[in-house]
Amino acid sequence: MMELSLVRLWSTCFCSFFYISTVLLLLTTGGVYSHSEYLIGMGSYDITGPAADVNMMGYANMDQVASGIHFRLRARTFIVSEPQGKRVVFVNIDACMASQIVTLKVIERLKARYGDLYTENNVGISGIHTHSGPGGYLQYVVYIFTSLGFVRQSFDALVDGIENSIIQAHENLRPGSIFSQYSSLWQIDRLFLGYDTSFSGYRLTLPVICK
């Protein structure tokens, strides 16, 4: 019993120290801590789509065809709302990019469910720019040329997953606070080949630390 009490005491002390340190760090490094109680909701849903025999979106290579699942793709939604006020929805999808036709279809479904609560003015959908997800879900011919046209399975998986992730986030809305932080990462380039082929003025202003 004594050992258990000591463990609980140390756990309490550590949590308190961590919270205080985090607040002090935000105050001293330019971060912002909001004391206002926003309503915050989060949701996540599967958007994997067809696992094989579909061209992947991004490289415009007709030979890049899916042949299985490495790991499943998801839509992750964050809703921030002022109590009895405005709200914003941000959806991050494991896809090369968002699609206007997907966005319009998602908003159409949200309007049918929630009325004018979620519209084109407060719903944003963004892709992580992966080149390893199914293609064929965009509305322009150039983007669906290598997938040999529109792929309904890809489109439906995205629309269904995004809609359900937003529903989850909406149903999980609860009071919370917002932390934000910013910083700069200098002398780093993610692709040395691209860096080396850049014009000299660019290389002079953005040196890398190693090659």
- List beta partners, residue 23: none
CA distance 195 to 197: 5
Q: Was 129 annotated as part of a binding site?
A: yes
DSSP letter assigned to residue 45: E
Q: What DSSP string runs through 150-195?
A: --HHHHHHHHHHHHHHHHHHHHT-EEE--EE------S--S-HHHH
Closest residue by Cα to residue 67 from 90, 83, 78, 51:
51
Between the CA atoms of 153, 157, 159 and 162, what dihedral angle is there, to the nearest 10 degrees? -170
As annotated, the binding site includes 129
As annotated, the binding site for Zn(2+) includes 129
